[in-house]
Structure 1
Amino acid sequence: MSNEFPLGLFDSGIGGTSIWKEIHMLLPNENTIYLADSKNAPYGLKSRDEIIELSIKNTEFLLNKNAKIIVVACNTATTNAIKELRAKYEIPIIGIEPAIKPAANLSKTQTIGILATKGTLNSDLFHEKISLYSNIKIIEQIGHGLVQLIENGDINSAEMSELLESYLRPMVDQNIDYLVLGCSHYPYLIPQIKNIIPNHIKIIDSGEAVAKQTKKILEKYNLLKTSRSVSWQKFYTNTNPHVLKTILNHEKTVIEKDF
């Protein structure tokens, strides 16, 4: 496998671009391919079997584009399908999980909130993770409707503000001091979230940690791109690319409606 081959990332839609941005910032020399399966978003409302099937389909697409590693830039896909993907493919596969560990270890009030999809919060992997922190009160909240609004480009809508208020206010009232964003779409909501929660509550997402893990895996398998040729970034979507273009903030990228 050539180290010139691209990194492959997929998500149920545009949200995983929050992970892509962290990876691209840390590893700007790397070529990347990002797949936004927005037609099937949100994964959080689908069955585990459906999520596994879609994750395999997405992985196959990226492998056909010569991806040298796969980053599952989706919490729901990771918590429901990462074991199956790693069993099926020899290529390194990196997942993304809610950042429960740092929040639990740093919490002074011993109470943290987790905003995530139904698929993530109901997964076996998620329950395995939270069982390690029996001394911490963990308040779980399904983010009903948030992914759909983000996919529609309605990040700053009144409906979004109302939903966030209804989800976050009960957490604040229960004295959380850390809020874990358990969906790669949700970092795009941080400005609105900060308008609702007090300043002392810290927000944690997984983007930076995933980027560091990606670099570590590339180094481990000697897959870091060594040539200094200008890197390229390609994005694929199966819906209207307008929202994806907007959320990428007009990066010099290629977006194709291809699959």
Structure 2
Amino acid sequence: MNNNKPIGIFDSGIGGTSIWKEIHQLLPNEKTIYLADSKNAPYGQKSKEEIIALSKKNTELLLKLDCKLIVVACNTATTNAISELRENYNVPFIGIEPAIKPAATNSKTQTIGILATQGTLSSALFYKTTQKFQDTTIIEQVGNGLVQLIENGGIHSAEMEALLRSYLTPMIAANIDYLVLGCSHYPYLIPQIKAILPENIQIIDSGEAVAKQTRNLLNESIGCTSATCSEPVFYTNTDPKVLQEILGNKYTVFKKDF
């Protein structure tokens, strides 16, 4: 296998760039191609069949672009489609799931909160994971509207603050000491979330763990490239403006139909 082939990453929009940033920081010499399927965001309100079909579409485009490994940087796509992807395509996949284990393991109050999409919380994989921690009370909250606001550039809007307060206040009242962010869009809301949560509540997302898993898989089975740092490529199927702003205008975002 050609070690200098790119790593492919896809998400239901711009949120998976929070995963891309962790991967790029840990593996700066790896080429990366990112697909933002914003036209179909959010995945969390779609049926399992729709999520699988969209995930296959994204996978096939990344394979056409010669990717050696694919990161499913979307909790909803991972929990609903990754087993199907692994069965159908001969390429390594890395998925992302809510980081329930570290939260449940370290919780002092034995009560943790999960903020995620309906598609993630209702998946069989999520249910299977939560069953391993029956001694911990898990407060589940669907983040309706959050992804749409992020995709539309409303991260700092009054509507976003109101939604977050309505979702987090019951968790605070339930005495959680960990909040797990179960959607790759949500790390972009951490400053707003911190302003609402008491200081004793810790926030966990899965980005760093996914980056480490990517590095481990490359070291074990594919091998890291020794090439000099390569400019990452970003594709979106909607207006590139919001993705461009999220990336700090440092990189070029290309509009592509997919």
| 1:237 alignment counterpart | 236
1:215 CA drift (Å): 0.2
Which amino acid counterpart does residue 247 of structure 1 have in structure 2? I
1:230 CA drift (Å): 3.3
Which of structure 1's runs of 4+ aligned residues deviate more than 4 A?
none
| 2:246 alignment counterpart | 247
1:85 CA drift (Å): 0.4
Which amino acid counterpart does residue 255 of structure 2 have in structure 1? K
Mapped to 2, the partners of 1:219 and 1:53 lie a distance apart of 31
Q: How does 1:108-123 map to 2 (within 5 A)?
A: 108-123=108-123
| 1:177 alignment counterpart | 177
Alignment: residue pair count: 257
Q: How does 1:178-257 map to 2 (within 5 A)?
A: 178-227=178-227, 229-251=228-250, 253-257=251-255
Aligned to 1:144, what secondary structure does the other structure show? Answer: coil
Aligned to 2:39, what secondary structure does the other structure show? Answer: helix
| 2:256 alignment counterpart | 258
Aligned to 1:195, what secondary structure does the other structure show? Answer: helix
Q: Which consecutive unaligned segments of at least 5 residues does structure 2 have?
A: none
- Per-residue CA distance 1:119-143 (angstroms, 9 max, x = gap): 0000000000000000000000000
Which amino acid counterpart does residue 43 of structure 1 have in structure 2? Y
Kept in 1: contact 2:244–2:252 (CA 8 A) = no
| 1:66 alignment counterpart | 66
Kept in 1: contact 2:28–2:229 (CA 8 A) = no
1:111 CA drift (Å): 0.0
Q: Is 2:55 the partner of 1:45?
A: no
Aligned to 1:34, what secondary structure does the other structure show? Answer: strand
Mapped to 2, the partners of 1:98 and 1:222 lie a distance apart of 26
Which amino acid counterpart does residue 102 of structure 1 have in structure 2? P
Q: Is 2:5 the partner of 1:9?
A: no
Aligned to 2:222, what secondary structure does the other structure show? Answer: coil
Aligned to 1:250, what secondary structure does the other structure show? Answer: coil
Q: Which consecutive unaligned segments of at least 5 residues does structure 1 have?
A: none
Mapped to 1, the partners of 2:147 and 2:223 lie a distance apart of 33
Mapped to 2, the partners of 1:84 and 1:201 lie a distance apart of 36
Kept in 2: contact 1:30–1:232 (CA 8 A) = no
- Per-residue CA distance 1:26-45 (angstroms, 9 max, x = gap): 00000000000000000000
Mapped to 2, the partners of 1:180 and 1:53 lie a distance apart of 27
Mapped to 2, the partners of 1:10 and 1:76 lie a distance apart of 12
Kept in 2: contact 1:117–1:142 (CA 8 A) = yes
| 1:89 alignment counterpart | 89
TM-score, structure 1 length as denominator? 0.98
TM-score, structure 2 length as denominator? 0.99
1:89 CA drift (Å): 1.2
Q: How does 1:13-162 map to 2 (within 5 A)?
A: 13-162=13-162
